[in-house]
Structure 1
Amino acid sequence: MTAEARDAGAEEDPAADGGRPLHIALLTYKGNPFCGGQGVYVRHLSRELARLGHRVEVIGSQPYPVLDEGLPGLTLTELPSLDLYRQPDPFRTPRRDEYRDWIDALEVGTMWTGGFPEPLTFSLRARRHLRARRGTFDVVHDNQTLGYGLLGDIGAPLVTTVHHPITVDRQLELDAAESRRRRLSVRRWYGFTRMQKRVARRLPSILTVSGTSRQEIVDHLGVRDDRVHVVHIGADTDLFRPDPSVPVVPGRIVTTSSADVPLKGLVFLVEALAKVRTEHPAAHLVVVGKRPESGPVAQAVERYGLTGAVEFVKGITDAELVDLVRSAQVACVPSLYEGFSLPAAEAMATGTPLVATTGGAIPEVAGRDGETCLAVPPGDAGALAAGLNRLLGDPGLRARLGAAGRTRILHHFTWTRAAEGTIAHYREAITHAPPPPGTGSPAGGAVSRTGAAAPRGAPAPGTGSSARAAVSTGDSPEAGEASGSGTGSAAGGAPAAGAAASRGAAAPGGGPAAGAAPASGTGSSARAAISAGGSSDVGGAAESGTGSPADAAASSEDAPAPAAAPEPGTGSPARAAGSSGGGSVAGGAVSPPAAPSARGAAEPGGAAAARGAAASGGTPAAAAAPSSGTTSSARAAVSAGDSSEAGDAAGSGAGAPGRGVPSRGGGSAAGGAPAPRATRAARGAGSSGVGSVAGGAVSPPAAPSARGAAESGVAPALVQGVADVEIDCESRATC
């Protein structure tokens, strides 16, 4: 039964809390429950929500979530990515026939330049999927995607879970980096955290799993504290329970490490094991996770001669995992930081005594030192060794802490409690949700920032640019976004008076509005590519005096409007997905990108005019080579959402090649050779790195030149050291 049918009064049995059963869309861009806490969260929460009488549709990308079978109302919808980080070929380049649309091109381009694209690209795909199914769901629950695509109207009220700010992981890895190249790699990989900060500040309701995480979301992400609510998660106490029939292996220590990253503190546990074995020679460590082939942990195992004393297991079943934890004399959580620590809760639920650090929210879960666990400072191998030695040598203490630990989990941390608390916040979000777009608003729901009907047509001379073309209602641009005075764009419609013309904004019924050229002096859209609900980057505003319509590629659902050339003085969109290698979007397909207009290039402002990214039928406009001295977009579409570090802008004087596919040498294909200084060299991802898209396939990228790397501020390590970036990121990609 759909949400609309329920609203119409159709009868159905009440849920466990006595309220109306809800139809829930649970989003997760990473769903593997055997590698990382997010997949575990989705699996167990979806099961308990279904048991409480609700319909749950998990919408996820690869690795796909694994759900419990046999529960009515629990289903999985696959929303596939290109699966760029799959095993055994992570960081692969897809075949030409794998590309489906401009989002795929953006995903590959970001990966090619060392970034992590999945939070952004999954959010864009999810937005398209949810809007196409408007009226199906009562509420949408996002599991820490925090992508631009989930802002604005997605067809149902949004509730978001943030387990902990990923900025914490980023800082810990930067602190552990030993070289400038490594720090550059870390900054680029975690570029998406800037997007997540901006999105988090605009969300009406955020759930988190601990009080510690709540405070860090306020401090790190800048979210108002009254918008962040704690709903503790827990262990599956039916699965993780004591079983005396499982023999305990003397000296066995078990830990879980989903990735070889500093956050997990595994290197300190390996060092502690070497100390412990001097008193307990039978002591050995079993790590639930992938064995690292290189890096600090592998080096520590070799340095201390522990090859035979450290075992890694991966891909085991739930039953095998539970028996492994039961068989250990001691469980250990050596993390420097955790937003909750499911491994601690699960070990305690089995009755296995725990040694854990006090990093992050671990004490909130594990309890007081000496009562339910032994607590030690994070990053202290000596303290870990002392705690392990104490437990291994004291059977009475092991029995007491094991029993007390299970009692604590049963009283405070179960998935049933988590589901009940989550449902309460769903109902609150539904109660306070604004009316759907178009309800009571004139002109088919086209609304300006002030709520007035948005007249269609070209803006008057002198108006500023729209900082966020698609869903700007209710949100102010970030600092430095240069939104002109009186600017504002229509939500899914034509721009309000005083805003730059929103070419391709949806007219009533979903069709594009008629394209109209902005008047002389108007500003350009700061980020047309992904501003459907998102803000533009800090400092990402268009240059003063330039401007063009906000191209149709801004909306992932709408086809482009008929093309119209900009008036004198106007320029190209600052960051348009279609013009930066992605072409324009027409009915879900990507057409070849049109070349900059020679007229627009030579006109005042210096920026190339995106003249006719696609004609009304999806055919690209006639190509023309840019004139000498034209300038390219300062930041290509690959940076959309995960803004680059300072100095990532394209060099002055680099213009976009003519229509067609750039060659590997950087030249352009048929359609017009670029004039002098018209070869785009900077950032091989969005424009020259993704190549052009024709008929759904992306051409090979043009190699960035050394000059381009220098002009754009991108260190040669990023351009020439792709292999090093892959090695740096491989542990993250496995999960």
Structure 2
Amino acid sequence: MTAFEATFEHEARPISRPLRIALLGYRSDPFVGGQGIYLKFLSKALVELGHQVDVLSGPPYPDLDPRVGLIRIPSLDLFACDSHVKALRWRHLRSYSDTFEWCSMLTGGFSEPYTFSRRVAKYLRSSAKPYDLVHDNQSLGYGLLTLQRRGIPVVTTIHHPIHRDRQLALDAAPNWKFRLLVRRWHSFLRMQEKVVSQLTNVVTVSEQSRQDISGAFGICQSRIDLIHNGIDTQTFTPNSEVAVDPWQLITTASADQPLKGLRFLLQALAQLRPDFPQLKLLVVGKLQPSGTTARLIDKLELASAVRFVSGISTEALVEHYNRSAIAISPSLYEGFGLPAGEAMACGCAVISSDGGALPEVVGDAGMLVPAGDSGQLANGIATLLRDPELRKELGLRGRARVVERFSWQRAAIQFSNYYYRVIANADG
């Protein structure tokens, strides 16, 4: 435990004065991933404490509380283009960041963290709007060091080291050509390693992530403070008016990301279907028609049992959790495990792998199985399908655990006190 965390062994004190805070996210749409959700709810909780908060974001832009300001930091947004090769215009050649972003994508790289941090540093240099502090959400670009050298207090949240994603993608690559592409895509990690080694204030969201960040980036654990993610327990809540489908499983997964472990859940589903022919799986995520997951579904003859939904509203997601009998988190690794926490907040029984920080979130309020073991996962699902009373008990325990331990209000108070300490150290 660091000295900072010791402050929160008891209930954290409320804020002493409002701050002007800039939250950074290089792509912040909540439907893009957990980092967008993090910015949405942390910014809301901070303004509810009385702070003034602006989110500086690249596209796709976030859906924010109306009290939170949004400052758009445009990029080429090449992922939204029909052809990123044809996306470059003559005017872009006047911008180093635009040209670099296009060239990087053309050669298989991912430059958004780098170019976003450059654009933010340029914007803040010319902006007349002063901020007490800048809080980055894992862009970890060189622009952060520029801000830090200017004397601006900079905090960054690292959810988990992307080194894990890279290694799993390398392990799953079918040949040396794909491994080259994986290494090229993740080449931004060299920049992030250099930046993290020089940043003064680093925060993460779980004890597991703190250990992994320390190992991946080569910094002492004592330099990394811990503030858990929150769960929006006012939105993610049980709804007795929604009828539970006793045969519906639900998971949130990026279909073709090996890290998310969807293939093991599909294998478990195939094992269970002979004994439970009504069983079906709802995947909150987007299926790539020609991807590895689509091919696996065809191979396992699960097309009639698996449905994908994407781009849905938060309200629709809450209804899906309430309608489902069991929520599954099969990830090989999670820096926190937000989908598991949201399902628990809705009172849905959870089965989770023991990958990464998931045991910290689920605790004894769900069923834990070894990561990457489809047989054990199938056994766990079968146990809960046959025992509706156990499902009900786990749902109640899950809701109680999230309400007690994880809330955005508590996270905002902890961050407020952390910000004060950072600002005081910078002034001193």
The structural deviation recorded for 1:278 is 1.4
The structural deviation recorded for 1:35 is 2.3
- Specify every segment of 5 or more residues in structure 1 that has no aligned partner in the other structure, as ranges: 1-15, 436-735
Deviations 1:623-646 (A, max 9, x none): xxxxxxxxxxxxxxxxxxxxxxxx
**Greater CA deviation, 142-151 or 95-104?**
95-104
The structural deviation recorded for 1:226 is 2.0
Does the aligned pair in 2 maintain the 1:284–1:310 contact within 8 Å?
Answer: yes
Q: TM-score, normalised by structure 2?
A: 0.94
Structure 1 counterpart of 2:379, which letter? A
- Confirm or deny that 1:255 pairs with 2:255: no
State the distance in 1 between where 2:128 and 2:167 align: 39
Deviations 1:8-40 (A, max 9, x none): xxxxxxxx8241100000000010101211000
Match of 1:103 in 2: 97
Q: How does 1:35-54 map to 2 (within 5 A)?
A: 35-54=32-51
Residue aligned with 1:344, SS? helix
Residues 361 and 87 of structure 1, relative CA distance in 2, 3 Å threshold = farther
Q: TM-score, normalised by structure 1?
A: 0.55
- Confirm or deny that 1:75 pairs with 2:69: yes
Select which of 403, 419, 423 maps to 1:426.
419
Does the aligned pair in 1 maintain the 2:209–2:357 contact within 8 Å?
Answer: yes
The structural deviation recorded for 1:135 is 6.6
Match of 2:267 in 1: 271
Deviations 1:471-526 (A, max 9, x none): xxxxxxxxxxxxxxxxxxxxxxxxxxxxxxxxxxxxxxxxxxxxxxxxxxxxxxxx
Residues 135 and 225 of structure 1, relative CA distance in 2, 3 Å threshold = farther
Deviations 1:506-556 (A, max 9, x none): xxxxxxxxxxxxxxxxxxxxxxxxxxxxxxxxxxxxxxxxxxxxxxxxxxx
Deviations 1:373-410 (A, max 9, x none): 11101111111111111111110100111100111101
Residues 134 and 147 of structure 1, relative CA distance in 2, 3 Å threshold = farther
Report how many residues are paired: 414
Moved over 6 A (4+): none
Structure 2 counterpart of 1:65, which letter? P
Match of 1:291 in 2: 287
Q: How does 1:26-65 map to 2 (within 5 A)?
A: 26-65=23-62
The structural deviation recorded for 1:234 is 2.2
Select which of 125, 131, 139 maps to 1:137.
131
Residue aligned with 1:286, SS? strand
Relative contact order: is structure 1 or structure 2 higher (C-alpha 8 Å, sep ≥ 6)? 2
Match of 1:300 in 2: 296
Residue aligned with 1:106, SS? helix
- Confirm or deny that 1:406 pairs with 2:399: yes
Deviations 1:608-665 (A, max 9, x none): xxxxxxxxxxxxxxxxxxxxxxxxxxxxxxxxxxxxxxxxxxxxxxxxxxxxxxxxxx
Structure 1 counterpart of 2:45, which letter? E
Does the aligned pair in 1 maintain the 2:113–2:139 contact within 8 Å?
Answer: yes
The structural deviation recorded for 1:295 is 2.8
Residues 87 and 268 of structure 1, relative CA distance in 2, 3 Å threshold = farther
More strand by share: 2
Does the aligned pair in 1 maintain the 2:92–2:99 contact within 8 Å?
Answer: no
Does the aligned pair in 2 maintain the 1:130–1:155 contact within 8 Å?
Answer: no
Match of 2:176 in 1: 180
Deviations 1:271-301 (A, max 9, x none): 1111111111111000001012123211110
Does the aligned pair in 2 maintain the 1:134–1:156 contact within 8 Å?
Answer: no
Deviations 1:583-626 (A, max 9, x none): xxxxxxxxxxxxxxxxxxxxxxxxxxxxxxxxxxxxxxxxxxxx
What RMSD, in angstroms, separates the aligned Cα atoms of the two structures? Answer: 1.5
Select which of 329, 334, 343 maps to 1:347.
343
Query: Which protein shows a greater Rg?
Result: 1
State the distance in 1 between where 2:212 and 2:85 align: 31
Match of 2:80 in 1: 86
Residues 62 and 294 of structure 1, relative CA distance in 2, 3 Å threshold = same
Does the aligned pair in 2 maintain the 1:35–1:289 contact within 8 Å?
Answer: no
Does the aligned pair in 2 maintain the 1:201–1:224 contact within 8 Å?
Answer: no
Does the aligned pair in 1 maintain the 2:327–2:351 contact within 8 Å?
Answer: yes
State the distance in 1 between where 2:84 and 2:270 align: 33
Deviations 1:344-401 (A, max 9, x none): 0000000000010000000000003xxx111101111111111111111110100111
Does the aligned pair in 2 maintain the 1:338–1:361 contact within 8 Å?
Answer: yes
Does the aligned pair in 2 maintain the 1:84–1:92 contact within 8 Å?
Answer: no
- Confirm or deny that 1:314 pairs with 2:307: no
The structural deviation recorded for 1:86 is 1.1
Identity of aligned residues (%): 47
Q: How does 1:314-393 map to 2 (within 5 A)?
A: 314-368=310-364, 372-393=365-386
State the distance in 1 between where 2:150 and 2:338 align: 31
Structure 2 counterpart of 1:112, which letter? L
Residue aligned with 1:250, SS? strand
